[in-house]
Amino acid sequence: MKNISSILIVLILLVFSSLGSGLVLQAQESMYYVQTSSPQYSILPGSQFVEPLNTGLTIPIAILLNFTNYSSLNSELLYVISSGHYLTPLKFREYYYPSQSYVNSLENYLEGYGFVPTGNYGLILTFNATVGEIEQAFHTYINVYYYPFKDIYWFGKVGEKRVGPFYYFTNNVTPSLPYGVGKYVLGIVGIDNLDPHAYQGLRQAWNVPMTEGKGSSSSGLISSAIFTPNTIQQYFNFSSLYAQGKTGSGSTIAIEGVPECYVNTTDIYSFWRLFNIPRTGSFNVITLGNDTSGGQSGENELDAEYSGAFAPGANIAIVFSDGYVGGKALVGNLLNYYYEYYYMANYLNPDVVSISVSLPESYLAAYYPAMLYMIHNIMVQLSVQGTSVLAASGDWGFESNHPPPNFHIGVYNTIWYPESDPLVTSVGGIFLNATSTGQIYSFSGWDYSTGGNSVVFPVQIYELTSLIPFTPITVRTYPDIAFVSAGGYNIPEFGFGLPLIFDGQLFVWYGTSGAAPMTAAMVSLVGQRLGPLNYALYHISYSGEVVTPHGIIKGLSAWIPVTSGNNPMPAHYGWNYVTGPGTYDAYGMVMDLGMYAEYI
C-alpha cells in the first residue's frame, strides 16, 4: 500500500496545482492580480465595445476569500484520507481561514476608496461602491458591451442556446490590489453582470413538469404500477440492514436547497406516513434570508422524502439561503448557492451531504472560475471534516447532449458541478422494469443518466488504482455509482413511476435526483464518518476485495455491474458512462464501507 500512498500525494497535488492556475494569483511589483476576474473569463468572445460604464453608478459587489496555508492543506487532506482522523469546523477555520486582522486590512483598504460594507458572510464580504471607486481600488476599467449572438459557447462548442443577444458590463483589465491586502482574494463578483444574463444560475437535476400519478394514462408515460420505497428497499437489500438495527441513527444528512425557494414540510411528513416509514430521526428546515421568489421546491421535497425513507433513523436537514448573502441585489450570482455549503460545513458538520441542484462545469470553467474554486474549497473542508458528499449526475445523457424528449434545458456539452469534483461522489441512474403489480423484475442503465469527462480536474488516484475494470485514466470522469432514477410498468425511460407528495398530492417523477438522496441514505447506514467516498468505492472489487490504505481485506460482493442501457454510450460490465462502476446491494456496500473505515 505504500505505492498507493505515494501516488495519492502526487494526485492530490495535481488537483490543487490544476486549480492553482486560477487560485495562486500573482504578486508582481508588489501587486496582486485577481486572475479569476480577468477579462478572459468575463468578456464573451465576439462581444462589441459600446461605451464606458457611468462612473457615478453605484453597484453591489462581493469579495470572495480564499483559504490560507494551501501546502499544509494538501498534507491534511492526504492524512485524513489515509487515517480517518478528521478536523472539527473550528479547527479547520483556525488553520485555513484568513485571519480577522487580514480581513480588517482588506476592508479598511476598500473603505478608503469609498466602499460601503453591507455584509460579512465568512469568506464573502459584500459592499456597495460606485463604478469610479471600484475602478480606482482595483486598477481596472468597466465598460458596456454588446453580445450579438443568440447562443453562448464554451470550449469551442455550443453551451447554452437562445439567450442572446444582450448588453452587459464588465471589466477590461485584470483587477489588482496591493499584495498585502489582496493575497487572499479569490474573486470579485459584481464588477460584471454577465452571469445572470448568460446563465440563469442553477439547473435542478429534476425539474420536469410534475405529473399527477393516478393510474394509467393515455399518454403512455405514467405507469399504472407505482414503485413504493419498501419495494426498492427489499429488492436492493436495505431491509436486511434495518433488521440489524442499521437505520442511520445518530447520522445527519444535509440537503442542498434550491436558493430562493422553500418546502412544505407537511408534504414530507405525509409521504413518510403514506408509505409507513418508521421515522425516528429528526427533520429540520434551515432558512436564511426571506426571498422565496423561486417558489416551492419539489426537488427538495423529493430529496427529503427519499433520504428520510431510506435512512429512517438519520437526522435530515435542508438548508436554504434565500437571498441571504448581499440581499436581493446580489441574487443570481450563485453566492447563496455557495453559502448553503458554507453553512453546512461550519454549522452542521453533517455526516453526509446530498445534492440535486447543479451547475454546468464547462460554464464555470469558461466564465466563472472563482465560484468553481470557492465551491471546491468547501468540498475540501467537508472532506477534511469527514463528510461524504454525493450529487445527482444529471438527467440529460452523455455530456448533457441527449436529454429526454420531455425535459430540454438548453444546456449542452458539459458535465455538472460539484458532481465532477474529485471529492464528490456522482450518482448516476438505473431504470427499474416493473410487473403489473409493481414488483421489480429487472433493471438497466437509465438512458438519460449523465456521464462524461471533466474539463477541469485531472485523473484521480482512485481512478488510476481502481479495482473496477475499464475505469478511464485520462481525466476525472463520472458517474461513480448509480441507483434508482426511473421505472415503471410498460412505459418508456422518460416515463413516470416513482412517487412523490408535492403540494398535498401524489405525483410521479424521474431523475438522478432521487438516486442521490437514496444513496446518501445508504452511506449514513454505515454509522460512521467516511469522508470523500470515492477513495473507498473504487477500491472495492466486484468480488468483494476491499483495498484500504493499510491492507487488503475480504468483504462482500456489493457492486452489481450494469450491462444494458445507453445514454447513448453503452452500459457494460465494468466502468461505463451510464452507471460508473454499477449499482449496489445495500447490505454488502454498507458492510464493505464499514470495513474500509475500520482499516484507515
Q: What are the pLDDT digits (tens) for 319-338?
A: 999 999 998 888 888 999 99
Does 18 score more than 70 pLDDT?
no
Q: Are 323 and 260 in contact (CB under 8 A)?
A: yes
Write out the three cell numbers for 324.
Answer: 441571504
Q: Which residue has the higher pLDDT, 119 or 1?
A: 119
pLDDT for residue 212: 53
Does 26 score more than 70 pLDDT?
no
Q: Are 555 and 592 in contact (CB under 8 A)?
A: yes
Does 277 score more than 90 pLDDT?
yes
pLDDT for residue 172: 96
pLDDT over 70, % of the chain: 91
Q: Dump pLDDT digits (tens) for 553-578.
A: 999 999 999 999 999 999 999 999 99
Q: Dump pLDDT digits (tens) for 336-370.
A: 999 999 999 999 999 999 999 999 999 999 999 99
Q: State the average pLDDT over residues 306-328.
A: 96
Of 370, 24, 380, 388, give the one whose Cα is nearest residue 183: 24
pLDDT for residue 442: 96
pLDDT for residue 204: 54
Write out the three cell numbers for 205.
Answer: 437535476
Q: Dump pLDDT digits (tens) for 216-273.
A: 443 688 989 999 999 999 999 999 999 999 999 999 999 999 999 999 999 999 999 9
Q: Are 31 and 178 in contact (CB under 8 A)?
A: yes
Handedness of CA 18, 21, 22, 26 (dihedral sign): positive
Question: For the chain, what is the total number of helices (H) and then of strands (E)?
Answer: 19, 32
Q: Which residue has the higher pLDDT, 5 or 374?
A: 374
pLDDT category at 196 given cuts 50, 70, 90 is low
pLDDT for residue 328: 87
Does 11 score more than 80 pLDDT?
no
Strands 481-488 and 424-434: parallel
- Mean residue pLDDT of the chain comes to 91
Q: Dump pLDDT digits (tens) for 29-41.
A: 599 999 999 999 9
Paired with 61 in beta bridges are 127
Of 476, 446, 587, 484, give the one whose Cα is nearest residue 538: 476
pLDDT for residue 517: 98
pLDDT for residue 163: 87
Does 149 score more than 50 pLDDT?
yes
Q: Are 281 and 253 in contact (CB under 8 A)?
A: no
Q: Dump pLDDT digits (tens) for 458-507.
A: 999 999 999 999 999 999 999 999 999 999 999 999 999 999 999 999 99
C-beta atoms surrounding 401 within 10 Å = 17
Report, in angstroms and rounded to the nearest whole number, the Rg of the chain calculated over CA atoms.
23
Global pTM value: 0.93
Classify residue 493 as left (phi > 0), alpha (psi -120 to 50) or beta: alpha
Q: State the average pLDDT over residues 302-318.
A: 98
Q: State the average pLDDT over residues 364-386.
A: 97
pLDDT category at 6 given cuts 50, 70, 90 is very low
pLDDT for residue 219: 61
Q: State the average pLDDT over residues 187-200.
A: 73
Rounded to the nearest angstrom, the gap between the alpha carbon of residue 218 and the centroid of all alpha carbons in its chain is 37
Instruction: Give start and end residues of each alpha helix (H) in 410-500.
Output: 461-464
DSSP 8-state secondary structure symbol assigned to residue 153: E
Does 112 score more than 80 pLDDT?
yes
Of 190, 195, 199, give the one whose Cα is nearest residue 151: 199
Domains, in order of start, for the chain = 29-193 (no CATH), 222-596 (3.40.50.200)
